[in-house]
Chain A
Amino acid sequence: MDEQRVDGYATAMFEVARVEGSLDEVEDELFRFARTLEGNDQLRSVLTDDAVPAERRRGVVGDLLGDRASPVTANLVSLVVGAGRARELPAIIDRLVQRAAAEHDKVVAEVRSAVALDDDQRKRLAEALGRATGKSVEVKVVVDPSVLGGLVARVGDTVIDGTVRTRLDQLRETIR
């Protein structure tokens, strides 16, 4: 039932973004918002709290995305949060991103980096991951300072980890 609901929301949001003609931009903004929501407990607790009125939750979304994202993105997030589905929002967005990538016969590679990547780096990274996985890859970058340095890419069930954080963790386990 949850899967159907996630699929339903993802399909609706995908169609809205495509009709609005800003699918790539909306998709990218939604993806970053989903990662932000996953990494911010305070934001997640506010948006998923049923005791908080829907208007208030939508107000929070508006304050957060009003001048940082396109109106379509802000409206879509506000719609889902107002419907009380903020808890499923990351899964809905992931499904939307996968669907968008599938439209171009691509798979989504979620990449985490301590610093932002420029377009050239994204392109070369997508090509490199494509060669590594044998698939056409669409890169979605999440800036995550906790990785310290380097990159980690998740393509489907495959994770290619080259972060300093992971190396330090491995070193810690080795020493122990």
Chain B
Amino acid sequence: MRTRRLAASLALALAVLLGSPAAAYAAEGGGEGGGPVDHAAEECIKLLEAGSKIDECQEAPNPILPEANELLWGAISFVALLLLLWKFAFPPLNKALSDRSEKIRSSLDEAATVREEAQTILADYQRQLADAKGEAGRIIEEARSTADSLKRDLTARAEAEAAEQRERNAQQIAAERDRVMAELQSQVAGMAIELAEKVVEGSLDREANLRLIENYINSVGGNGSTPSGTGTRSGS
């Protein structure tokens, strides 16, 4: 509707603008009829006869200042056009400009709102990022602490186990050494006893045996107690 009215206003203004020179020309042609030309010729003839030159009988029109009637009709047309424009064209144009301004303003407001929202989102994002970085740092620190603690525990445990193993090895070595020494001592003792037995068996002839028997009899019966070199035990 608004566009249609605007188009109609423009068409009217164009018609007025194009019709104004024709009306001025018609008014100029219709009013004089061929009289002015003859009058100018008569005036020129008179001047020439009076001894004037030809240039004085023909005055060139002013190239800048229009004729008075053109100026009048132009002013009237301009005023009429201005009124028509004022009446019909300017209000839609003003309204369109106002709407455009309002639209731009609302767009700017919306852009500002969006910008604020973006700022808010950016701030939230940055805050969350900072929180995430802080949480990540805390987790890393906690993991590092846990790893250190675990490392200390494992190290301490490994050292304790190593010490225990060394102690066990030392005990085993000592026990093995004692066992070997005892075994060696036993073997030496056995060899010594076997040697002693052989010596005794070789030297114990009947006479020696009889002396031992006599000693036994004398020892047992001598004081009524356990004889020297003999053992007394109870039990079957």
B contact patch SS: helix
CA distance A131 to B49 in the complex (A): 220
Q: Contact size class for A?
A: 20 to 34
Q: Is A89 an interface residue (CB 8 A)?
A: no
Q: Contact size class for B?
A: 35 or more
Q: A149, B230: Cβ atoms under 8 Å? A: no
Least Cβ–Cβ distance between B178 and chain A, in angstroms: 13
Least Cβ–Cβ distance between A126 and chain B, in angstroms: 10
A residues adjacent to B (C-beta < 8 A) = 113-115, 117, 121, 124-125, 127-129, 131-132, 148-151, 153-154, 157-162, 164, 166-168, 170-172, 175-176
Q: Is B213 an interface residue (CB 8 A)?
A: yes
Q: B197, A148: Cβ atoms under 8 Å? A: yes
Q: B217, A171: Cβ atoms under 8 Å? A: no
Report the nearest A residue to B231, measured CB to CB: A161
CA distance A174 to B193 in the complex (A): 11
Q: Is B36 an interface residue (CB 8 A)?
A: no
CA distance A54 to B231 in the complex (A): 43
Q: B226, A160: Cβ atoms under 8 Å? A: yes
CA distance A44 to B233 in the complex (A): 29
Residues of A within 8 A of B225 (CB): 132
Residues of B within 8 A of A124 (CB): 217, 221
Q: A171, B193: Cβ atoms under 8 Å? A: yes
Interface residues of B in 187-212 (CB under 8 A from A): 188-190, 192-193, 196-197, 200-201, 204, 206, 208-210, 212
